[in-house]
Amino acid sequence: MALEKIQQVIGRAVHVPGNDIDTDRITPARYLKVVTFDGLGEALFYDERYGPDGSQKPHPLNDPRFKGASIMLVGANFGCGSSREHSPQAIYRAGFRALIGESFAEIFFGNSTALSMPCVSASKADIEALAAAVAENPALEVTVDVERLEVRYADKAFGVSLPESAQKALVSGRWDPIADLLEAGELLEQASARLPKAVKS
């Protein structure tokens, strides 16, 4: 099953500052009851973006200057807390296709990679410099180069890190383990046929 090769993500960015932003903040617990992930993008940071009456609070994702951004800039230990898959799903379904952060919680990182959404790590200084450039020019085009492990914008560039296994999975289009299992269905059946049959007593 051919999947998209994620070699680069190009788009506009938005900075969501703060360290240790956990999955309870990314997707409030009441949204865990959904049967499918459809429409989950609306839940993204809901309690931080909206009051009880639905009125908007000051938040980067509510700022019209950053509407349509597809790259999120975050701090350290992003996605920590409970291992809910809903959080990367909400980010992806809200239109984001890559995250640049100081570091990511392990399970959040794995769930994001399985959605084809790279989470690359960069230094605090590089992220802050990019965030300042984005604040000055929200239309700034940012490139997350997964293959070269580099972020580029304007006339600047900085290196990022990504575990080799995740990088290979993304750039080769092998980022969905379920798709790999489905593709291997015939091979699994052949292997099963070669196994000794159970002897009935």
Structural domain contains residue 102 = yes
198 assigned to some structural domain: no
Q: Report yes or no on 199 lying in a domain.
A: no
Please check whether residue 2 is in contact with residue 173, taking contact to mean a CB–CB distance below 8 angstroms: yes
The CATH number linked to 117 is 3.20.19.10
DSSP 102-146: S-B-HHHHHHHHTTT--EEE--HHHHHHHHHHHHH-TT--EEEET
Domain count of the fold of the chain: 1
Answer with the residue of higher pLDDT: 17 or 174: 17
The range of the structural domain enclosing residue 28 comes to 8-193
Please name the residues in contact with 190: beta carbons below 8 A apart, sequence gap of 6 or more. none
In a domain, 201, yes or no: no
pLDDT in tens, 126-158: 999 999 999 999 999 999 999 999 999 999 999
Helices 164-171 and 106-113 meet at what angle, rounded to 10? 20
Q: Tens of pLDDT along 52-96? A: 999 999 999 999 999 999 999 999 999 999 888 899 999 999 999
Residue 21 lies in a domain: yes
Domain assignment present for 1 = no
Domain presence at residue 183:
yes
